[in-house]
Chain A
Amino acid sequence: MPDLDEDILIRPLSEVDIGDIVEIDEKQGGIYRPEVWEQRVGYYLRRDPEISVVASLEDRVIGFMLGEVRSGEFGLEESTGWIEVLGVDPEFRGQSIGRRLGEQILERIKNRGATTVRTLVDAGQEDLSGFFLALGFEPAPLKPYVRTL
């Protein structure tokens, strides 16, 4: 039985992780979407492969957090870290994998010179809101609007 605290490795995302990420997404959402993750992982790797991170246990990815540093979005001219995708294998929920991923990605974003990190959470996802609050995030005055066409 692995010791999760000791044996989990948080490391940068790589293309080798695509299969495991597809599997976690399928376990979470019940839909097999390999093309989506091939494009997304390709995107984050070409943007900056050292920011997005995965949690690996015995060479298998059990969690991932994808993000990047951008500027100029929504009038936010300063260099800003964006956390955009988070997934943890349901078998490993409740074992602080997300927290460890979050701490790592925040450190990596800080190392890129950003002083602010942002994310968007669906108001209905209280567990996810709680997760980001626990990581030190707080509600921002920037309010999202949407219109269906």
Chain B
Amino acid sequence: MTTAATTLPGKFHDAVIRWQETYLSDFDFLVDNWEKYFPNDQRFRLCAYREQGICGEIECGELEGQPKFTQACDMDPKRAHQLLGAIRAQASTEFGSIQQHRLTLARAQHEQDQMWVLRMMAEELRHGYQMLHLLLDDDWSHVSEISSADMVEEILSMTTGSHVLGAFNIDFDSFVDNVVFCALIDRVGKFQLAMQQVSAYKPMAESMPPMLREEAFHLATGVVPMRRWVTQAAQGEVYVTMEGLQRAWNKWLPRGLEMFGDERGGGTNVRLGLKPMKNKEAQEGYYKECGKVLRDLNMRYLRARLPKLSRNEAIRALDRILEGEVVQGVGREALLHLPDQRFYRRRGLPAFEMIGTQGEVFEDVAAYTQHLSETLPESYRASADFRGYVDLLRQVNGGEVTAHEASSRAPALRRVGGSCPCSKSVRWVVDSPAESSSLETPLATP
């Protein structure tokens, strides 16, 4: 197995560097201190990697067994268009997550946590760079009136609020968001990258293995600090409470579920050989894995809270508590729980249904918004994102719009300045078509 490295043409590479200087200003600190925090690890390099020697035949769909496409122009327009949408959305999310993480990076309490997140941000920059490489290294003119150069400019111009997928339009409120985002939203990324390893477009498939290797560490960047926090919470520390963590899970898990696209869709991607699973199947795998992470966190909490229990006693105690018993003063409310898949959804099958974290059904908008206010982070409730959701929920329940229409309305048009040095433009970025609640929503990954 070998990996080929390449860089973008000069002006685009420079544009990414300028973007990095704007949104990842701690990059030089990371590079300068790499050996201190990541001794003997391969040094970070801003480039695109392509894994050599991957399967050369299409692995699923109507063309299974035929050679993978090496050029976009060899693909039929529908396949190429679908793929182009996915690449653009993915590029947007990679850059978007850095813009979110930077807001609260400095608030980390532990040096290791901070450096892990900083490294993760640099690697997300590389992932975005990888997607720009796919846009620029091929000719997409038969499926797009926008030139590759303009697509790159558009992506580098996006800011939080104008990204293609909803999870990347939500500001972080504390370092808890950095960590929970890594554990939940980057996990979506892992699933998407793993699926795209079989892409019928060979350059896409070749891009995935190096990204997946980096993504594995990003998930640890989320899970390892959370495991430490629940231990501290059990010992009575006040830095991060179980309730605070629960609220962060409630904030991010619905967005993660939506990133898989509508539960009824994904068949086109399978048929076209771009992914091996439909949306629902992939989403179910993701939800199940989140459940395992959560159970481990609860076990970590319980063993810190009741340290005299043996391993087997702790396993039995956890099961009893989850069934509603109180064991040595620990009840279900002290533990984390996985929010219902339909909770706080604005896209997909349960969009704008009023379902609570435990699956309870609400009939009244006021009661549901009260439930949301009790289960989401207080700082987040002051955000435009939350207000936008509540406004749309009221409209849906007032019969002014359908849930489908509401899904395609968020987020609104936003005027953004071009931060890309190859442009001085200021433009309106139209988000809604790219993230409409179409059953074949382009899927992406942080």
Q: Report which A residues bind B (CB closer than 8 A).
A: 12-16, 18-19, 23, 26-27, 32, 34-35, 38-39, 41-42, 45-50, 59, 70, 111-113
Contact = CB atoms under 8 A, between A and B. Distances in A.
B13 interface: no
Contact of A18 (B38, B217, B223): B223
Contact of B300 (A19, A26, A47, A49): A19
Interface of B: prevailing SS = helix
22 contacts: A13-B216, A14-B216, A14-B219, A15-B222, A15-B223, A18-B223, A18-B227, A19-B296, A26-B311, A27-B311, A32-B311, A34-B231, A41-B220, A42-B224, A45-B216, A45-B220, A46-B119, A47-B41, A48-B213, A49-B217, A50-B209, A50-B213
B292 interface: yes
Given A15-B219, A16-B289, A111-B1, 20 more contacts: A15-B216, A15-B220, A15-B224, A16-B219, A16-B296, A18-B224, A19-B292, A19-B300, A23-B311, A32-B311, A34-B227, A39-B224, A42-B217, A42-B220, A45-B217, A45-B220, A46-B220, A49-B216, A49-B217, A70-B40
B292 A59 contact: yes
Given A14-B219, A16-B292, A38 B40 contact: no
Interface in B41-83: 41
B213 A49 contact: yes
Nearest to A19: B296
Nearest to A52: B216
B299 interface: yes
A34 B300 contact: yes
The 8 closest A-B pairs by CB, nearest first: A19-B296, A49-B216, A15-B220, A46-B217, A15-B223, A111-B1, A45-B220, A15-B219
Contacts of A34: 227, 231, 300, 303
Nearest to A112: B1
Contacts, number: 67
Interface residues on B, range: 20 to 34
A111 to B, nearest CB: 5
Contact of A19 (B219, B288, B299): B299
A26 to B, nearest CB: 6
A9 B293 CA distance: 19
Interface in B259-299: 288-289, 292-293, 295-296, 299
B228 A38 contact: yes
A34 B38 CA distance: 21
Which of B116, B227, B231, B288 is the most central at the interface, judged by chain A CB atoms within 10 Å of its CB? B227
Contacts of A38: 224, 227-228
A120 to B, nearest CB: 18
A105 to B, nearest CB: 15
Nearest to B222: A15
